[in-house]
């Protein structure tokens, strides 16, 4: 079963410096029918103006993945971690027992990011931050694990999260198709980062989402232009 979530139907918050779109209920946007999918609680589509950002603030017991679509994000936290994550790359923050952090756009162009929150399988882990480069050429026609709680995928280069879930990314040439196998009882959430695709026969435009349930295979086919997708495989 595929439930298309069109971009125009997402929750919207205009903060001036931040234009936020919410795939699920978040902050002042509340939809009882969109409270997450399994442990996936938040998928925000954020555009951050140059020279602005999220000031230092706390989190606890949440796995927070940031995927940079355009521009770059600069991170700083109370543990002493600092880093700049560029377009196409990923950072992961395990809030665990508690972390205080800020995220800023120190560039001269807008930063466009996906902010993804996943509930951990275990509360009270030690807080942690990491980032990694994921060249898009390595994702051509194949779903590459970007963040995962599975040992084999972490060993293969995915950033670690504390949940039996994984976030994959792929780029597709025009008309190209790929398949992803879902184990029994699992589900997925897919977002189109670039271009348009068809997922199990359902057409999705750029920045649309799709909740995928009760199927064993996810088939993604690019439209007439190149496409980029992110897929969360969830318990």
Q: What is the pLDDT of residue 128?
A: 97
42-53 average pLDDT score: 98
Sheet of strand 99-105: strand arrangement: 52-59, 99-105, 72-77, 82-86
Q: Which tens digit of pLDDT belongs to each residue from 60-95?
A: 999 999 999 999 999 999 999 999 999 999 999 999
Q: Which tens digit of pLDDT belongs to each residue from 125-142?
A: 999 999 999 999 999 999
Q: Which tens digit of pLDDT belongs to each residue from 93-125?
A: 999 999 999 999 999 999 999 999 999 999 999
Query: In which domain, by residue range, is 189 found?
Result: 2-234
Q: Which tens digit of pLDDT belongs to each residue from 147-201?
A: 999 999 999 999 999 999 999 999 999 999 999 999 999 999 999 999 999 999 9
44-69 average pLDDT score: 98
CATH number of the domain bearing residue 149: 2.60.120.10
What one-character DSSP code corresponds to residue 213? Answer: -
Q: Which tens digit of pLDDT belongs to each residue from 8-39?
A: 999 999 999 999 999 999 999 999 999 999 99
What does the alpha-carbon distance between residue 144 and residue 38 come to, in Å, rounded to a whole number?
Answer: 21
For the chain, the domain total comes to 1
Q: What is the pLDDT of residue 182?
A: 98
- How far apart, in Å, are the Cα atoms of 109 and each of 48, 61, 72, 175? 9, 32, 9, 31
pLDDT band of 204, cuts 50, 70, 90: very high
Q: What is the pLDDT of residue 138?
A: 96
Q: Residue 33, class by beta-carbon neighbours within 10 Å (0-12 exposed, 13-18 middle, 19+ buried)?
A: exposed
Compute the CA torsion angle 214, 220, 224, 226 (nearest 10 deg). Answer: 130
């Amino acid at each position: 079963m595929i439930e298309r979530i069109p971009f125009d139907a997402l929750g919207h918050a205009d903060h001036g410096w931040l234009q936020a779109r919410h795939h699920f209920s978040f902050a002042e946007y509340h939809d009882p029918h969109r409270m997450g999918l399994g442990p996936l609680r938040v998928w925000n589509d954020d555009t951050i103006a140059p020279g602005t950002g999220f000031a230092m603030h706390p989190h606890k017991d949440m796995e927070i993945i940031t995927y940079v679509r355009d521009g770059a994000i600069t991170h700083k936290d109370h543990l002493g971690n600092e880093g700049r994550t560029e377009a196409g790359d990923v950072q992961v923050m395990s809030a665990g027992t508690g972390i205080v952090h800020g995220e800023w756009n120190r560039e001269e162009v807008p930063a466009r990011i996906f902010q993804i929150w996943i509930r951990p399988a275990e509360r009270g882990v030690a807080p942690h931050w990491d980032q990694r480069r994921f060249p898009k050429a390595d994702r051509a026609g194949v779903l590459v694990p970007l963040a995962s709680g599975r040992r084999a995928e972490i060993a293969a280069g995915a950033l670690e999260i504390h949940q039996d879930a994984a976030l994959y990314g792929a780029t597709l040439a025009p008309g190209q198709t790929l398949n992803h196998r879902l184990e029994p009882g699992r589900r997925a959430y897919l977002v189109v980062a670039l271009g348009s695709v068809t997922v199990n026969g359902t057409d999705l435009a750029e920045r649309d989402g799709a909740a995928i349930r009760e199927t064993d295979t996810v088939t993604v086919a690019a439209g007439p232009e190149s496409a980029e997708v992110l897929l969360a495989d969830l318990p």
